[in-house]
Structure 1
C-alpha cells in the first residue's frame, strides 16, 4: 500500500484513476476546490491549487509516497506545487499532453511525416520558463494550452532555479515524471469534450465532416487505458522524465470517420476546408505530431490497439447521446 495524493481527479479518467487506486488498496487523498466529492473512503481536502497558502494549510503535516497532478496547466501552478510538496513526497507525476509536440504552437525540431514523435523532441530540461505571462487569464491560457504544459513540465524538471526564474528556496527534492497523453476517447457521457459524439452525430445524420485536403495521422488512447497507465506510473515503476501514452496505431480523420460510419451504418460525407478558411473537425490535422509509445513499452507497459477499442467507444457515444442517432 502506498499513500497517494491526486490533485484534481474529479472527472473522466482522473475520477476512474482515483477509483482504481482505492480498489488496489492504496490510501488515497484527493485535493480539489470542492466541486465534486471523491468516493467514500477517499480523504478529501478542499483547496484552490492556485492559492499557495490555502494549499499548504489544507495539506497540514501530511506526506505522500506519490503525488499525481491531473490539473497543472501553467508554470505558476507548477512552482506553487513544487514549494507546497517539497519534503512531502518522493515522487511527483504530472499528466501532460500530446499537444506539447504541436509544431503550430512552438518552434520544434522537425519530424518526418509518418515517424512517431519521441519524448526527446520536447525536452523540459531545455525549455524556457516565463512566469510573468498572463497565465491567470482564462482566454490566454486556453490559447496557450500547449505552452503552459511545456513550461509546467520545465518547472518540475528543474524544481529550483530555471532560466533565471527562482521557484523557491529548498524547492523540490522529489523525482518527477510527466505522462504525455494522446487524444483521450471513450466513456460515453463521461467524455466531456464531446469530440467523438461530434462524429457520431454528424455521420449518422449524413452531415459533412470538415477535413483538410491531406489530413495527417494522430494517436488516441482509451480513457480506461490512460487511468491504468497513470496507476502504473505512480505505483509500479520509478521512471523519470516525460513518457508518451498512446494506444498502438496511427489514424487520420478519415480512418476515424470510417470506423464511426461502420458503427452507424452511414458513409461519411467530407467537406475539404480551404487553407485559412473554416476550421476543420477535431482530429483533422495538417501538421504531424503523432507520438511514439516505445519508451513506455520498454519500461513494461502494454498498450491496446486503437482500432480494437474504438468501435466500443463509438457505441458508448451513440448510447450516451441519443440525438446522434436521430
Structure 2
C-alpha cells in the first residue's frame, strides 16, 4: 500500500516508518524537516520526505490538499492536537483515502474511577486539561464519521511513550533527571502521597506495532479506538524499587504530602508530577489484543531501562554505571 505518515520523524514515527518499509509499503513522511528520526536505520533511505509546516498550511487552507495529492491508501496522523485540525483533514480525505489513523492519548481519560480503564466505559472522570479534552473529542468525531458511512478511521491512544533518545516519565511522574541521580546514589527520594499511584508506560515501538496492526486489520479497526500501553502498569513505589535495583541500591523513599513536595520541587516538575500521578492511570489493552492482535514486547520497566541506558551512553544522564 501507499502510506503517508504525518509527523513520522517523532517518537512513534521513528519506529513506525521503518516497520512499514520492511513490510513492503511505499511510505512518504510529512514533517517540517527540522528533526532527524530517533532511530537511524537503512529503511529511511526508501522513504519519500515531504517538507511542510502544518500549522502554517492549515492557516492557509492547503494542508489537506497536500496530503490528498499524495494519493495514499492509508494516512497516519501522528501530529494532530485539535478537533478543528482533525475535522479539516477528515473532510478533505473523505472519498479519497481508504483509511485514516489518528494518534490520541490515554489523557483523554481524566482521574481514574475504576481500573483498568477500558474504551467506551465510564471508568474515569472527564479529561482535566485542554490536551486531553481535544484528544477525547477527536476520538469521538472519528468514530461518528465512520459510523455514519464516511471515511474509515481508527484512533490509537498510547500511554506514556518511552524509547531511546528522550527522557522517560520518571518514578515521580516528571522529567527531572535529578530523580535518577538521587536513586542511583542511594539517597532518599521524596515521594508525594503514599506511592501507590499508577503510571502506564509503553515503548514507542509497541505503539508503532499497534498502528501497523490496525493498518493490516482495517476491517476490524475501522471505526474503533484502542488503548495502547504495556501489559502492566507501575506504581510509584514499584518504579522506584526496580530503578534502584539497576544501580545496585535499595529503594529509599520518604513519603511527603503534596504541599511539602511542591515546596521542595521546582514548579514545573511538581505540576507535571501532579498531572501524571493524580490521574492514577492503569489501562486495559484487551480490545486491541482481541481485535487487531496487538502484542506488546515490552513490560514498562524494560522500556524505561532501554531509555535510561541510551541517556547514560550518550552523556545525557550523569549517574553511576548501570549494573543491569
TM-score scaled to structure 1, two decimals?
A: 0.77
Alpha carbons of 1:280 and 1:254: their partners in 2 closer, same or farther (altered >3 Å)?
farther
Alpha carbons of 1:233 and 1:214: their partners in 2 closer, same or farther (altered >3 Å)?
same
SS class of match (2:45): coil
Q: Which of 246, 250, 266 is equivalent to 1:267?
A: 250
Q: Confirm whether residue 325 of structure 1 aligns to residue 320 of structure 2.
A: yes
Deviations 1:143-199 (A, max 9, x none): 521112112222323349xxxxxxxxxx99321111111112231x24476849554
Name the structure 1 match of 2:296. 303
Name the structure 2 match of 1:46. 51
Note if contact 2:195-2:235 (Cα within 8 Å) is conserved in structure 1.
no
Note if contact 2:160-2:169 (Cα within 8 Å) is conserved in structure 1.
no
Alpha carbons of 1:26 and 1:63: their partners in 2 closer, same or farther (altered >3 Å)?
same
Note if contact 2:195-2:255 (Cα within 8 Å) is conserved in structure 1.
no
Quote the offset at 1:276 in angstroms.
Answer: 4.9
Note if contact 1:202-1:209 (Cα within 8 Å) is conserved in structure 2.
no
SS class of match (2:180): helix
Note if contact 1:48-1:54 (Cα within 8 Å) is conserved in structure 2.
no
Q: Confirm whether residue 228 of structure 1 aligns to residue 209 of structure 2.
A: yes
Q: Which of 138, 159, 171 is equivalent to 1:152?
A: 138
Note if contact 2:82-2:135 (Cα within 8 Å) is conserved in structure 1.
yes
Structure 1 segments unaligned to the other structure (5+ residues): 104-109, 128-141, 161-170
Name the structure 1 match of 2:183. 203
Name the structure 2 match of 1:257. 240
Alpha carbons of 1:197 and 1:223: their partners in 2 closer, same or farther (altered >3 Å)?
farther
Alpha carbons of 1:122 and 1:31: their partners in 2 closer, same or farther (altered >3 Å)?
farther
Deviates more, 1:250-259 or 1:236-245: 236-245
SS class of match (2:54): coil
Number of equivalent positions = 290
Q: How far apart, CA to CA, are the structure 2 residues paired with 1:85 and 1:198?
A: 46
Quote the offset at 1:200 in angstroms.
Answer: 2.6
Alignment root-mean-square deviation, CA: 3.2
Note if contact 2:168-2:307 (Cα within 8 Å) is conserved in structure 1.
no
TM-score scaled to structure 2, two decimals?
A: 0.77
Q: Which of 186, 198, 221 is equivalent to 2:163?
A: 186
Q: How far apart, CA to CA, are the structure 1 residues paired with 2:201 and 2:228?
A: 9
Note if contact 1:221-1:246 (Cα within 8 Å) is conserved in structure 2.
yes
Q: How far apart, CA to CA, are the structure 2 residues paired with 1:24 and 1:254?
A: 40
Quote the offset at 1:243 in angstroms.
Answer: 0.5
Alpha carbons of 1:307 and 1:46: their partners in 2 closer, same or farther (altered >3 Å)?
closer
Structure 2 segments unaligned to the other structure (5+ residues): 38-43, 263-269
Q: How far apart, CA to CA, are the structure 2 residues paired with 1:34 and 1:122?
A: 41
Name the structure 2 match of 1:76. 84
Name the structure 1 match of 2:153. 176
